């Protein structure tokens, strides 16, 4: 019997064979279609219960199966899985279209929607009904038959293209290695980084050291390697992923994706893809996003230019560098930061042993939200690196299953993300609790050292854990409104707000302990971490804004005339450019957030959420970072509510007012 088709609670990873997926997904689609048919054929008049609620609960089996499959395609993939992904993606987009373009079903949904004034619904029920109705109209329910078919074709193409995009980026990441046999060329690199590179070489049965484009290898190399030529080689390799003359080139794919998205938006009656996307976001429209970005740009650019000039002078004085290049950025920034604040990332690392940081984030979650995490070995997992936890509250009520997967490996894409294997919902009066996972790429332990994190990795762990809390603490009735199912420019608030605890003495003392001596991180380091937090914030802000503006350029205008992605990108970056352009590099060809993840016309939301998170954390600072009253309000109005109400309403209920950008500008040292 196919384990995916049996009833299971936690995902039965060890029992799943690759060949199980296709039949399970086919069967899952069949089951979901029967559930839809039952709603459509119901002889009773359409009601909130027999149509709206029934529809929200359809496809549960299919959702569980596909969440397992696509999560593994990101965290533990191989050629077979990638092949299956290419095969099933069009089926799934076809099935989604079968629902949204089903006239009889839409008729019932519309009948309930049209009678909503007479129904006496709660805020959550109203939101479900509205979201469902818009799900149909925004996906073509009102289109003529010819246009519906056109929409199906576009969606099938898009799902295959974004998968192919991601596969190409992963292939290019895996294809490059910088193999060094002469230890003299590693000057400047910390011992721990050299040791990790030696282990990679050993695993590939080679002498010396191997550096790759995986972040724990790539970032430290650019930050510390004294050899400028090798930094250049590494940076150019990172920047030309999927922009080379080979089978993994993404240029045509990018152009095809943006043109299809534009065509799809037009078909549905929207001016551009960004207009379509933003209608359902806090920002509402591209004009508002561009205005928001340009306002921040105005404040950040003078600071960024000052910082850049400063860095140029420093590099010139230190090494007679005439022209600062992109591969000099992290290297000289780190040196200058060390000089100004006398703060070396490598001195900090011994205080951030991975296990201690995990214990720390758990303790913070306990103090704020009364959560307890118990590591268990009875939960099935997909790789031995994965840790599994049973999460309860102070009264021992079961809250969530939590998976954590921390280290890079061949079948895992770069970066860090939170995901879920099962959403929270209330079904048959039972509160079904969620199964949540975070996936990161932190330095592996070596023969002589445990996994020691950079401070940047510590904030990444807190960030993803903030998303996880949003998933774990969900307390809604309907799964489509649960946890992180909120508008995209609100979803980063819980993750970004939690990063703030990494800078606070009271929080750091809980977990920042030297892995050999147990000594708590000295206060002078904490002060320096805090002081240096806004170091080069102007340049950082400019960088984030440049990505958001590139995304908006691709999606808020008609891309049909674009022939060169490089030229288009250069124009989009004009206002935010500091470093000379590198001819053989291109950002768009590997910009996975917008061409593979769900961030198209949404990358601005990181900055948008920063305004929210700085404003929210200001409230904690006023009352105390472990203040129970503020934490309870945040849990009640933000973390547990999911997408049951409009985000601004939830935020105002927590904060008592709309967010102001002042806290962010102050924190960033821009005012």
Supply the residues annotated as catalytic. Answer: 464
Could you tell me the CA-to-CA distances from 377 to 14, 373, 437, 504, 550 in Å, in that order?
A: 13, 13, 16, 33, 45
The CA distance from 117 to 172, in Å, is 55
470 neighbors 589 (Cβ within 8 angstroms): no
* Residue 608 Cα to chain centre, angstroms: 15
For residue 131, give both structure tokens: 């979201």
Residue 281 CB partners (closer than 8 Å, separation 6+): 487, 488, 489, 602, 605
For residue 424, give both structure tokens: 């929270």
Nearest to 404 by CA among 426, 421, 428: 421
Coil, strand or helix: which one is 430?
Answer: strand
Coil, strand or helix: which one is 187?
Answer: coil
Helix (H) or strand (E) holding 615: helix 605-623
The CA distance from 274 to 554, in Å, is 9
Where do we find the tokens 């980063």?
492
* Residue 571 Cα to chain centre, angstroms: 26
Dihedral angle computed from the Cα positions of residues 361, 364, 368 and 371, in that order, rounded to the nearest 10 degrees: 60
* Residue 362 Cα to chain centre, angstroms: 21
Beta strands 435-439 and 398-405, pairing class: parallel
**Phi and psi torsions of 353, nearest 5°:** -70, 135
Residue 160 CB partners (closer than 8 Å, separation 6+): 86, 89, 90
**Number of Cβ within a 10 Å radius of residue 145:** 9
The CA distance from 587 to 580, in Å, is 14
Residue 315 CB partners (closer than 8 Å, separation 6+): 321, 324, 328, 332
């Amino acid at each position: 019997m196919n384990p995916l088709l049996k009833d299971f609670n936690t995902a039965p990873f060890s029992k799943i064979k690759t060949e199980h997926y296709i039949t399970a997904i086919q069967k899952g689609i069949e089951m979901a279609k029967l559930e839809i048919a039952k709603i459509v054929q119901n002889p009773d008049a359409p009601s909130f219960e027999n149509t709206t609620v029934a529809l929200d609960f359809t496809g549960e089996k299919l959702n569980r199966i596909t969440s397992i499959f696509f999560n593994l395609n990101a965290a533990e993939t191989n050629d077979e899985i990638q092949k299956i992904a290419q095969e099933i993606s069009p089926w799934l987009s076809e099935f989604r279209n079968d629902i949204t373009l089903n006239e009889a079903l839409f008729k019932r949904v519309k009948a309930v929607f049209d009678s909503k004034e007479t129904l006496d619904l709660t805020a959550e029920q109203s939101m479900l009904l509205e979201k469902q109705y818009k799900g149909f109209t925004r996906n073509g329910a009102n289109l003529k038959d010819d246009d519906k078919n056109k929409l199906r074709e576009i969606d099938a193409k898009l799902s295959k293209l974004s998968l192919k995009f991601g596969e190409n980026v992963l292939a290019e990441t895996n294809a490059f290695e910088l193999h060094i046999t002469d230890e003299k060329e590693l000057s400047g690199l910390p011992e721990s980084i050299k040791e990790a590179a030696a282990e990679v070489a050993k695993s590939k049965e080679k002498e010396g050291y191997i550096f790759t484009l995986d972040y724990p290898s790539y970032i430290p190399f650019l930050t510390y390697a004294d050899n400028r030529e090798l930094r250049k080689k590494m940076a150019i390799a990172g920047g030309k992923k999927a922009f080379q003359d080979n089978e993994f080139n993404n240029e045509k794919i990018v152009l095809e994706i943006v043109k299809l998205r534009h065509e799809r938006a037009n078909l549905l009656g929207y001016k551009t893809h960004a207009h379509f996307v933003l209608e359902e976001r806090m920002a509402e429209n591209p004009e508002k996003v561009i205005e928001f970005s340009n306002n921040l740009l105005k404040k950040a650019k003078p600071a960024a230019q000052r910082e850049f000039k400063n860095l140029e002078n420093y590099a010139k004085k230190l090494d007679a560098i005439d022209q600062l290049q992109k591969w000099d950025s992290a290297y000289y920034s780190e040196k200058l930061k060390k000089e100004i604040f006398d703060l070396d990332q490598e001195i900090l690392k011994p205080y951030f042993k991975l296990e201690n940081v995990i214990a720390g984030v758990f303790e913070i979650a306990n103090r704020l939200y009364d959560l307890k995490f118990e590591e268990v070995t009875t939960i099935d997992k997909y790789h031995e690196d994965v840790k599994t936890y049973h999460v309860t509250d102070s009264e021992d009520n079961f809250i969530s299953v939590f998976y954590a997967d921390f280290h890079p490996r061949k079948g895992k894409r770069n970066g860090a993300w939170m995901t879920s294997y099962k959403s929270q919902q209330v079904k048959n009066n039972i509160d079904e609790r969620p199964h949540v996972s975070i996936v990161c790429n932190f330095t592996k332990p070596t023969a002589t050292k445990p996994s020691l994190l950079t401070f940047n990795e510590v904030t990444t762990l807190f960030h993803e854990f903030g998303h996880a809390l949003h998933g774990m603490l969900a307390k809604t009735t309907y799964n489509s409104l649960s946890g992180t199912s909120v508008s995209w420019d609100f979803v980063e608030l819980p993750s970004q707000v939690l990063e703030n605890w990494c800078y606070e003495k009271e929080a750091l003392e809980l977990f920042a302990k030297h892995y050999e001596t147990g000594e708590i991180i000295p206060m002078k380091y904490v002060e320096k971490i805090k002081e240096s937090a806004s170091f080069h914030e102007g340049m950082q802000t400019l960088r984030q804004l440049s990505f958001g503006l590139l995304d908006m350029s691709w999606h808020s205008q008609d891309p049909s005339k674009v022939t060169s992605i490089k030229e288009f990108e250069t124009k989009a970056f004009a206002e935010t450019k500091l470093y000379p352009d590198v001819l053989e590099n291109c950002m768009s060809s590997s910009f996975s957030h917008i061409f593979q993840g769900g961030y198209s016309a949404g990358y601005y939301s990181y900055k948008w959420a920063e305004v929210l998170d700085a404003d929210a954390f200001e409230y904690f600072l006023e009352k105390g970072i472990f203040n129970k009253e503020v934490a309870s309000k945040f849990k009640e109005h933000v973390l547990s509510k999911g997408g049951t109400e409009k985000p601004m309403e939830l935020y105002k209920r927590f904060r008592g007012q709309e967010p102001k950008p002042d806290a962010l500008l102050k924190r960033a040292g821009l005012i």
